[in-house]
Structure 1
Amino acid sequence: MTGWATGPASSPRIELLVAGHPRDVIVERQQRLDVAQNYGPAARDAGFYISLRGIAPSDSAALDEFLASVEVRADGVPLRSTASASRARRTITTLNIVGRQIGRVFGKRQDKAHADADFEQYVERPTRLAQQHGRELQAAHDATAKIRPNDILVFVTARNEMARIPYFLDFYRKMGVAHFLFVDNDSSDGLIDYLKLQPDCSVWHTKASYKASNFGVHWMNYLLGQFGVGHWCLTLDPDEFLVFPYCEDRNLHELVQFLDSEQRDHLFCILLDMYSDHRVSETIYSTGQNPLDVACFFDGVGYVQRENASFGETYVQGGPRRRIFFRENPSKAPAINKTPLVKWGPNYNYLSSTHMLSPRSANPPHPHDHLAPSGCLLHFKFLSLMAEKAKEEIERKEHYDDSIEYKNYHSVISQSRDMLFFEKSVRFKNSRQLCSLGFMTTGQWF
């Protein structure tokens, strides 16, 4: 039937007209999870969307003209939407793209129970849990009064990482980070005392369960909500080092200025596991050393992805963890897609480490009409430090899925099967190399 489509039995008849002409459409009963953020609390009553896939043009100018001519009716009555934004702006805001255009025109319908459930699960509950677990943090050294409005901030949860932290701080200071906010999860290696001596570091201590805090996510969300709103924030592990296009010559401020100019609020990254051409147990690292000096290789092949996996993110697996440590069950290998750099906003929350973020709009790697810059996190987990770390984490049982990842590490290392280097290993050179290999993109940044 031309010009209209029907959703579930309880839905009204929906009509879409473009310049007065009816068009075939598909009603999609899907609750976007950032509805209230984009449209205001009143929009939480919204219950359906109309797919414009294959109907809306991809050219920006043509899209504006198209949207200006769109009319949507429910049972013959023109729909009224939130008045805070034009129809064109409202629709463009809801474009949720991961490699292809999926446009939806927002229609208002009473489905409050469904909308409220999503808002509770992905906005209110994470915020409430962040506040609850934030009470577990005791300030050991609070220098946050030094934070200035345009400062770029780094947020880290760490335990017994004293060997890594000196170079970590030096690396990100040179990149343009102004302040570091640490949660120390009861370290015994002197880490907290070292951080107290750093003028650009604030540190909170807790003996609470890392697992119970959603593996540190609630602690990070709490600090991000307290100190990160309005700032570009990097949420990292101590073994993660950001590489982005032109990073050899440009700093983080130049990157975020470009992202701001494109109205982007996040940078998508691939986590590249780095290793040496020796066994992991023989890859000796010294405090303060550049980890690239001892682990400069990564897998050049063997990566898989699923687009729009669950929340707008691109779910990626690969590298030596999938190839070696999860060889028997590669589908269980850790995700290596991350969104570590975010311009934090009110009610933003990480949901699953930095793999998934609420609002949903902060997950897709690229906008609908062009590629955005993306980055890589060089991940230096596979140093000789790993053997002792794996034993400790197996005993603590504080990691995901009963610490299965660390059990796999321990098994491979203890059986002397920890040679990760193979014929498809690639030596890291620079950001241009990662762009040419397709691990990251420059977008329209020149």
Structure 2
Amino acid sequence: MHYPDLPALVADRRNALATGPVALILVEDDVEVASTITHHENAGFAQIILFCDPERGLPTLGDRVRRVDYDVTRDDALEQIVNAAIKAAPGQWLYYGYNAEYLYFPFCETRSLPELTAFVTEERRDTVMCQVVDLYAADLATGPDGVSRDDAHFDQTGYYALARHDTRGVALDRQMDVFGGLRWRFEEHVPWDRRRIDRAAVFRARPGLEMGADRLFNMPEYNTFACPWHHSPTAAVCSFRTAKALRRNPGSREDITGFHWPGSLRFSWHSQQLLDLGLIEPGQWF
């Protein structure tokens, strides 16, 4: 199904958004679009909705994949798309991400995303907090755009979290600003408001919910990483997006000769590796 714009998708919400979970994926370029679709199909998404420039060619789309013509280069593109989906599909579980990003959650090789969201619902939570794990080509001579699925690496160390505070300076309950990865190592090339790697990328829509430009929701509980009473499952968005940006920006491209460092580890494309390093958390989901 091909929609000419976002309002057309919303108008067809009974078909496009009625069955979930639904993945909202912004396609910024031609990098790893097919692998992104396949990965999220395998994760168990009932619908995958791609937003991209009307002139962009896409691989052959399956029955669960829909296309929406949209200018994803707009500064407010993500929040416009997410907030439109929230209003159109209250009660639905949604995920948002970009091409060349891959959602990994505990035991995702043998369990589906609907199983995870069912468990989270039983915990009386409406979000699965995620952390962006930057992927990058270890050798920029063979992966000049910073992308290589066959030689993907990530930082196994260098992550840290700071308590999040409100406008009065009071620490917010169970909310943290998380930093690390390429945005930490090359922070001089990343604006301050783009350095956080925490992302509530999996959440259940509800009336009145909105996501702001800072990627935080207007309902505080949606920004928390765990239940008040115990640890909750978390997930990772394994992403080449920062590597691509650092290689495309003329200033950072000249300054950065490589992403590999002593803290690099080859990505195994398996959730157990992320669990072993503490980058995702099973909580009470065994």
What is the TM-score with the length of structure 1 in the denominator? 0.55
Change over 3 Å in CA distance of 1:316–1:251 after alignment to 2: same
- Determine whether 1:178 maps to 2:17: no
Matching residue within 157, 163, 166 for 2:26:
157
Contact 1:157/1:220 (CA < 8 Å) preserved in 2? Answer: no
Residue 309 of structure 1, CA deviation: 3.7
Contact 1:153/1:177 (CA < 8 Å) preserved in 2? Answer: yes
- Determine whether 1:189 maps to 2:56: yes
Partners of 1:424 and 1:151 in 2: CA distance: 38
Whichever residue aligns with residue 190 of structure 1, its letter is: G
- Determine whether 1:202 maps to 2:66: yes
Contact 2:131/2:197 (CA < 8 Å) preserved in 1? Answer: yes
Highest RCO, 1 vs 2 (Cα 8 Å, sep ≥ 6): 2
Report Cα offsets for 1:111-135 as digits up to 9, x if no partner. Answer: xxxxxxxxxxxxxxxxxxxxxxxxx
Contact 2:17/2:47 (CA < 8 Å) preserved in 1? Answer: no
RMSD, matched Cα:
3.1
Per the alignment, residue 169 of structure 2 pairs with: none
- Determine whether 1:348 maps to 2:191: no
Change over 3 Å in CA distance of 1:139–1:202 after alignment to 2: farther
Per the alignment, residue 222 of structure 1 pairs with: 84
Per the alignment, residue 423 of structure 1 pairs with: 262
Instruction: Identify, as 1 or 2, the structure richer in helix.
Output: 1
- Determine whether 1:256 maps to 2:117: yes
Residue 207 of structure 1, CA deviation: 4.9
Report Cα offsets for 1:406-425 as digits up to 9, x if no partner. Answer: xxx4323234x231111111
Per the alignment, residue 250 of structure 2 pairs with: 410
Match of 2:25, SS state, is: strand
Partners of 2:90 and 2:125 in 1: CA distance: 15
Contact 2:183/2:190 (CA < 8 Å) preserved in 1? Answer: no
Change over 3 Å in CA distance of 1:348–1:331 after alignment to 2: closer
Matching residue within 241, 244, 253 for 1:381:
241
Whichever residue aligns with residue 438 of structure 1, its letter is: G
Partners of 1:205 and 1:259 in 2: CA distance: 33
Residue 257 of structure 1, CA deviation: 1.4
1:13-412 matches, cutoff 5 A: 137=6, 139=8, 144-147=13-16, 149-159=18-28, 161-184=29-52, 186-191=53-58, 198-207=62-71, 210-211=74-75, 214-226=76-88, 228-279=89-140, 282-283=142-143, 292-295=149-152, 297-310=153-166, 313-324=175-186, 326-327=187-188, 334-352=195-213, 355-381=215-241, 387=247, 390=248, 409-412=249-252
Report Cα offsets for 1:80-134 as digits up to 9, x if no partner. Answer: xxxxxxxxxxxxxxxxxxxxxxxxxxxxxxxxxxxxxxxxxxxxxxxxxxxxxxx
Whichever residue aligns with residue 245 of structure 1, its letter is: P
Q: In the comparison of the two structures, how many residue pairs are matched?
A: 275
Partners of 1:344 and 1:319 in 2: CA distance: 29
Contact 2:182/2:242 (CA < 8 Å) preserved in 1? Answer: no
- Between Structure 1 and Structure 2, whose CA radius of gyration is higher? 1
Query: Where do 5+ consecutive residues of structure 1 fail to align?
Result: 1-135, 391-408
Match of 1:432, SS state, is: helix
Whichever residue aligns with residue 151 of structure 2, its letter is: V
Match of 1:352, SS state, is: coil
Residue 344 of structure 1, CA deviation: 1.0
Change over 3 Å in CA distance of 1:413–1:187 after alignment to 2: farther
Residue 148 of structure 1, CA deviation: 7.4
Change over 3 Å in CA distance of 1:445–1:427 after alignment to 2: same
Match of 2:41, SS state, is: helix
Whichever residue aligns with residue 221 of structure 1, its letter is: N
Report Cα offsets for 1:11-67 as digits up to 9, x if no partner. Answer: xxxxxxxxxxxxxxxxxxxxxxxxxxxxxxxxxxxxxxxxxxxxxxxxxxxxxxxxx
Contact 2:136/2:148 (CA < 8 Å) preserved in 1? Answer: no
Residue 250 of structure 1, CA deviation: 0.8
Query: Where do 5+ consecutive residues of structure 2 fail to align?
Result: 167-171
